[in-house]
């Protein structure tokens, strides 16, 4: 045995503890190169996982803690697959193996389990999917039985619709309609879905509409929400509930009609001004709800409030607290007075009682938002869509937000998620997002995951999981450190996949995974087996230096030209993304703009060759970079065998600027650009009509 004072021995023990905690000590980048996480990074991450490791004594104590199962005899929650034997670990030998199974929505059954030498219990296959209650040896276990795969495209399609569906991807905040709003809203989304459905679209993907905070409108990214359990009231169109006359009267009374009209004419959204104006209008209408709402709508609201339960009240309380306590930059709840730093203190309860009307307002705003999204989905289906709206699930939440405040036992503090260095981001990415603790998920029966899935699937026909790799592992970075100074933390992948599939069927919603970046070996095969559609982006579908022919694109995938984090087709063709990244110092150490532009010229020719091979173009590639062959590129992507094709609205319109530039905050107008034309005008533009026809034609072949 080595001397315990030997530093090498300490490092070995540290690596062992890290592996047991789910930290990947040795990992491979996109070029296949192996990296080893530095010991100091491991120590910081372990500390935030409540496994201190700064001394030999702490290492031993943390190892003992992590080796202890979170249950005394039998776990209180487990997952299984329909039609497969159910196996549950057990720490003791049971004298009686008779069990009683209460099936969700079906008659209970009894039976006898078997127990292996290692203590594991095996039960006969359960075919009914759902959340069931299993009783054995004075223990009660919630058993989540999932289908083998998620609800799929073929399940959603009706017999009279096309079997190679397509849709559009739109940042709904960018939409315009005939009424000045300052930002796109759910009514604009309804109009967009109606137009898209008339042209044959089966789906419309949108950006996340998770809850932001009226008290902190400076946090503008839809991918950095205050909570993933609720919606952002900034997207509410109050006229859809109160009537246009009532809203116009409030605008006149407050004298903000001209202000809204002026802001609506701007190319970029002023989020703080827009959110403040919307909050003022909603508050005034809320105060008059007794006179403006019918008895039916009032009852609908009261039902919504009851169904929202404690989680809804806590979110509303956070919003009211945030507004009351915000001073300067003190928007971080961790620097609030101690008595308000938890949702469950007596002082918070006292605050809620004293500010009941404020809290009621934030609950009311959530009801309006839920009505708006549900109305947009209803209009999408009425327009002939088989899927409708595909919601977007952000990978994490704002560490200063409502979700992190109310679910502190479920969310890791002191670590944020991101991505290691790759080709497009050679310095890595730190997204500044708080994420679930894998140990807490398992110990709590995945309650936080389940409630989140239900929240986003409630009013949508599908869900896109941003950075779906996070179901298996997340790149976590200690607060204040560079993006490359992080490590991967493993998650209970199989359990999470099963719960996603189960909730997918319960809501009859398709599931899409954004599986781009550093993808672990075998990961995509797991997604395919579970019926989760991957994401195939034109820029990445390559065979050596050539662009892959459409027939080689994967079937179990969503085909698209680009994403919100990547250049648009027009921007890529012109090389604008390269110039922008150069001006902001985002190139790698060995990269130069001139070299990148030479490579881009070669890539343009390669794409032109691929288009020519498929009969989408003829002749030589255009030398005028201001005239990219957009229609042909959209037809090329649409002709792939992908189960679904989603075309970003920016590419349908031929826009140059991408919605978001990773690695920037204020240096680039992320999440602020609005479209020039209204929804009605967009769908009447000749170029839009022509491109939609080519997309639909390619999918119909």
Taking Cα atoms as reference points, which of 311, 405, 403, 316 lies closest to residue 368?
A: 316
- pLDDT-based confidence at residue 327 (cuts at 50, 70, 90): low
Q: Which of 286-295, 421-430, 569-578, 613-622 has the lowest mean pLDDT?
A: 421-430
Q: Looking at the predicted structure, is the pLDDT value of residue 370 above 50?
A: yes
pLDDT of residue 269 exceeding 60, the answer is: yes
The mean per-residue pLDDT over the stretch 381-410 comes to 96
Return the pLDDT at 4.
38
pLDDT of 3: 39
The predicted pLDDT at position 70 comes to 75
Q: How many CB atoms lie within 10 A of CB 204?
A: 29
CA angle (674 as vertex; 671, 680 as ends), nearest 5: 140
Alpha-carbon distance of 620 to 597, in angstroms, equals: 19
Taking the C-alpha atoms of residue 491 and residue 473, their distance in angstroms, rounded to an integer, is 5
Distance CA 306, CA 313 (A): 10
The phi, psi pair for 612, rounded to 5°, reads: -65, -40
- Residue range 400-417: mean pLDDT, rounded: 96
Q: What is the pTM of this model?
A: 0.95
CA distance linking residue 50 with residue 594, whole number of Å? 48
362, 316 Cβ separation under 8 angstroms:
yes
Using CA atoms of 580, 391, 557, 603 in order, give the dihedral in degrees to the nearest 10.
-10
Mean pLDDT for the chain overall: 94
Residue 560 pLDDT > 90, yes or no? yes
In the DSSP assignment, the letter for residue 68 is S
Cβ(191)–Cβ(680) under 8 Å?
yes
* pLDDT tens profile 627-641: 999 999 999 999 999
H-only helix segments in 86-181: 153-156
Residue 68 has pLDDT above 90, yes or no: no
Q: What is the pLDDT of residue 215?
A: 83
Question: How far is the C-alpha of 670 from the C-alpha of 269, rounded, in Å?
Answer: 10
pLDDT given for residue 2 in this prediction: 37
Contacts by 274-280 with C-beta closer than 8 Å and gap 24+? Answer: 274/182, 274/183, 274/217, 274/234, 275/212, 275/214, 275/217, 275/234, 276/214, 276/217, 277/182, 278/182, 278/183, 278/233, 278/234, 278/236, 279/214, 279/233, 280/254, 280/256
What confidence score (pLDDT) does residue 328 get?
52
Cα(52)–Cα(689) distance, integer angstroms: 61
pLDDT of residue 330: 53
State pLDDT tens for residues 227-254. 999 999 999 999 999 999 999 999 999 9
- Burial class of residue 582 (count of CB atoms within 10 Å of its CB; 0-12, 13-18, 19+): middle
pLDDT score of 1: 29
Q: Using alpha carbons, list the distances in angstroms from residue 57 to 14, 18, 19, 42, 62.
A: 11, 15, 18, 16, 9
What is the helix (H) or strand (E) element at residue 28, kind and residue range? strand 26-28
Percent of the chain with pLDDT over 70: 97
CA distance 205 to 203: 7
Query: Looking at residue 590, what is its pLDDT?
Result: 84
Which domains are seen in the chain, by residue range?
7-67 (no CATH), 77-146 (2.60.40.10), 154-700 (3.20.20.80)
Q: Report pLDDT digits (tens) over 73-83.
A: 899 999 999 99
């Amino acid at each position: 045995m080595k001397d315990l004072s030997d530093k090498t021995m300490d490092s070995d023990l540290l690596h062992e503890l890290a592996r047991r905690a789910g930290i990947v000590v040795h990992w491979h980048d996109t070029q296949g190169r192996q990296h080893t996480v530095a010991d100091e990074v491991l120590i910081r991450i372990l500390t935030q996982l409540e496994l201190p490791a700064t001394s030999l004594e702490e290492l031993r104590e943390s190892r003992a803690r992590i080796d202890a199962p979170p249950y005394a005899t039998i776990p209180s929650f487990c997952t299984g697959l329909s039609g497969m034997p159910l196996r549950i670990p057990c720490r003791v030998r049971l004298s009686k193996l008779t069990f009683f199974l209460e099936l969700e929505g079906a008659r209970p059954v009894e039976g006898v389990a078997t127990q292996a030498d290692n203590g594991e219990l095996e039960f006969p296959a359960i075919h009914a999917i759902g959340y069931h209650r299993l009783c054995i040896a004075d223990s009660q276990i919630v058993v989540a039985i999932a289908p083998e795969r998620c609800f799929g495209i073929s399940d959603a399609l009706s017999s009279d619709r096309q079997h190679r569906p397509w849709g559009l991807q739109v940042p709904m905040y960018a939409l315009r309609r005939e009424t000045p709003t300052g930002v796109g809203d759910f009514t604009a989304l309804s109009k967009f879905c109606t137009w898209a459905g008339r042209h044959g679209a089966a789906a419309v993907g949108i950006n996340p509409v998770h809850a932001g905070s009226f008290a902190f409108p400076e946090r503008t990214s839809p991918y950095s929400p205050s909570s993933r359990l609720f919606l952002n009231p900034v997207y509410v169109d109050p006229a859809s509930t109160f009537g246009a006359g009532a809203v116009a009267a409030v605008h006149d009374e407050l004298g903000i009609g001209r202000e809204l009209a002026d802001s609506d004419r701007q190319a970029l959204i002023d989020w703080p001004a827009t959110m403040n104006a919307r909050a003022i209008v909603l508050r005034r209408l809320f105060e008059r709800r007794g006179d403006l709402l019918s008895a039916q709508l009032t009852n609908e609201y009261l039902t919504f409030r009851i169904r929202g339960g404690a989680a809804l009240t806590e979110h509303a309380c956070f919003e009211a607290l945030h507004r009351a306590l915000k001073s300067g930059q003190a928007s971080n709840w961790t620097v609030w007075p101690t008595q308000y730093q938890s949702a469950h203190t007596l002082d918070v309860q006292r605050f809620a009682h004293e500010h009941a009307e404020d809290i009621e307002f934030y609950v009311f705003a959530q009801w309006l938002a839920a009505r708006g999204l549900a109305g947009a989905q209803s209009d999408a289906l009425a327009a002939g869509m088989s899927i409708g709206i595909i919601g977007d699930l952000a990978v994490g939440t704002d560490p200063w937000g409502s979700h992190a405040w109310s679910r502190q036992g479920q969310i890791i503090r002191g670590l944020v998620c991101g991505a290691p260095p790759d080709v497009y981001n050679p310095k890595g990415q730190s997204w500044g997002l708080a994420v679930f603790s894998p140990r807490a998920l398992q110990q709590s029966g995945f309650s936080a995951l389940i409630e989140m899935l239900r929240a986003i699937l409630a009013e949508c026909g599908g869900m896109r999981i941003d950075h779906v790799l996070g179901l298996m592992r997340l790149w976590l970075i200690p607060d204040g450190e560079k993006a490359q100074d992080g490590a991967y933390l493993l998650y209970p992948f199989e359990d999470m996949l099963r719960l996603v599939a189960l909730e997918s069927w319960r809501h009859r919603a398709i599931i899409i995974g954004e599986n781009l970046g550093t993808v672990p070996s075998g990961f995509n095969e797991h997604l395919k087996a579970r019926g989760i559609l991957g994401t195939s982006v034109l820029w990445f579908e390559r065979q050596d230096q050539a662009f892959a022919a459409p027939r080689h694109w994967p079937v179990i995938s969503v085909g698209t030209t680009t994403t919100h984090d990547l250049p648009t087709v027009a921007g890529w063709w012109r090389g604008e993304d390269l110039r922008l990244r150069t001006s902001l110092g985002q190139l790698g150490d060995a990269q130069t703009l001139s070299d990148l532009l030479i490579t881009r010229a070669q890539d343009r020719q390669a794409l032109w060759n691929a288009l020519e091979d498929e009969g989408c173009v003829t002749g030589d590639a255009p030398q005028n970079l201001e005239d990219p062959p957009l229609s042909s590129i959209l037809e090329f992507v649409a002709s792939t065998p992908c189960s679904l094709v989603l075309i970003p609205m920016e590419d349908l319109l031929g826009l140059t600027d991408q919605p978001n530039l990773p690695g920037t905050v204020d240096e680039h107008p992320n999440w602020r650009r609005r479209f020039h034309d209204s929804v009605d005008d967009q769908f009447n533009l000749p170029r839009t009509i022509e491109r939609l026809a080519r997309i639909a034609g390619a999918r119909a072949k």
